[in-house]
Amino acid sequence: MTDTVKETAYTRLLKTLAKVEPREAKAVTISFIYFFFLMFGYFVVKPVRDAMGTVYGVEHLQELFTGTFLVTFLVSPIYAFLASRIKLSKFLPWVYGFIAVTMVVFFILFTTVEQHQDRWIAAAFYVWVSTFNLLTISVFWSFLADTFSSSQAKRLFGFIAAGGTVGTISGPAIGALFVNIVGTNTLMLISAAGFVVTALLVNVLEKEKAKLAVAGDAQKTTLDRKLGGNPFAGFTLLFKSPYLLMIALFILLMTTISTVIYFQLGDVITKSFPSREARTQAYAVIDLATNSLAVFIQLFGTGRIIQRFGVTAGLILNPLIMVLAFLAVVFSPVLLVLGSIQVLRRFAEYAIAKPSREMLFTVVDQESKYKAKNVIDTVVYRFGDVTSAWLSAAVLPFGVTGLAVAGIVFCGLWFPIAYLLGKRYENISAGRVPMGAVQAAPAE
């Protein structure tokens, strides 16, 4: 269809940065801002969550990971049940609104409970933040995969992801600069405000999705419907599709490796910093460095890199980086090296691998986007966390070097899965494999 939207200086800038067509400019801008407030709301309290884990005890982190997995397993079917019975246009904003309410509740708890009694509240906070962060991000990318087509995603997802990365810079910056002034509790109220704005932006983007569906090559689905089905449909869809199972295995290995690094870093930070505020600040500085690097690639290069080298290259980048990173830890297991590795890993994941991974869902049907994807992004993700957490706890007495060796072994499994998955997606996207092979609807 001929583009009838008038070009402006702003649309020309977007086209230069990320090849955004004029008719897509408004939807892309809203998506960018939406993701900014979503990630800002989470990353304001992410360093607090990590610090609360050290309050509970690094030697007991595997217990928190187990609790997170169990809560996630309970939340996932509840989410699917509500999505089956409430129109998506009404349900999605309430997901973010509910998160905002819980942040206010924790603020009240932490300000009223005595310091010596807050270990269990710290554990509850850790578990809940670790549960909702995956849910809210999964909902966002489900919405995006349900708005933009596969061809659009290759151009636009990297740029849109930069909005979230700017949010991940702003959140830790507030923590790093002001936590000693306002205290950790106030950060929870700031987070709640971010999620309220996010809830409002869902409805704005929904209207633009409808316009894109009429005017261009975007997804033709609508949010003015209930998904139907039962609360466990996401699990059923997952196990019926080899393609979705391959995505799940990729995520499982990715989270396993991430948790190994998390244990390494937590052990070193606990030994290096005595107070809760100092640990919060250390985690915030790492987050800030990571996201500052990633945003430039997302704004100016992710879309071009993926269009030039393909989704497969985007998926295999992290396994390659992590093999080299773990080798560095074997020879020098100190805070500077571990912090640098965490920055490098997240940089590669946020800038390239994450947008590439989310593109995989643009070729599946709407129910799989919201239900099977939710299971993969939450239950499978946290299952990888909890299994790796117990393994890491068992290996931790041998030091961070022992964890690094375990990480190298997992990378050896991760790389071929990433390669095969990328090739599978490219074949489906190019029409060389039938859409029915992944239970997909003709969405483009």
Label residues 322-356 b or e (16+ Cβ within 10 Å = b): bbebbeebeeebeeebbbebbbbbbbbbbbbbbbb
Question: Which one-letter DSSP state was computed for residue 357?
Answer: H
- In 205-319 the beta strands, taken as DSSP E runs, fall at none
CA 124 vs CA 67, 76, 111: distances in Å: 9, 18, 15
Domains of the chain: 9-438 (1.20.1250.20)
What string of pLDDT tens digits covers the 444 residues of the chain? 445 667 888 888 888 877 888 888 899 999 999 999 999 999 888 878 877 777 666 667 778 878 888 888 888 888 888 888 888 888 889 999 999 999 999 999 888 876 556 778 888 888 999 888 888 888 898 888 888 888 888 888 888 988 888 888 888 777 777 767 777 788 889 999 999 999 999 989 988 888 887 766 677 777 777 777 777 888 888 888 889 999 999 988 888 877 777 776 777 777 777 776 777 777 777 777 776 777 766 666 566 677 777 788 888 888 888 777 777 766 665 566 666 666 777 767 766 777 788 888 888 888 888 888 888 988 888 888 777 777 766 766 666 667 677 778 888 888 899 999 988 888 887 776 655 555 544 333
pTM of this prediction exceeds 0.85: no
Give the 3-state secondary structure percentages of the chain, helix then strand then coil, rounded to 5. 85, 0, 15
CA 49 vs CA 131, 179, 231, 306: distances in Å: 11, 13, 29, 33
CA 205 vs CA 84, 163, 165, 256: distances in Å: 21, 15, 19, 34
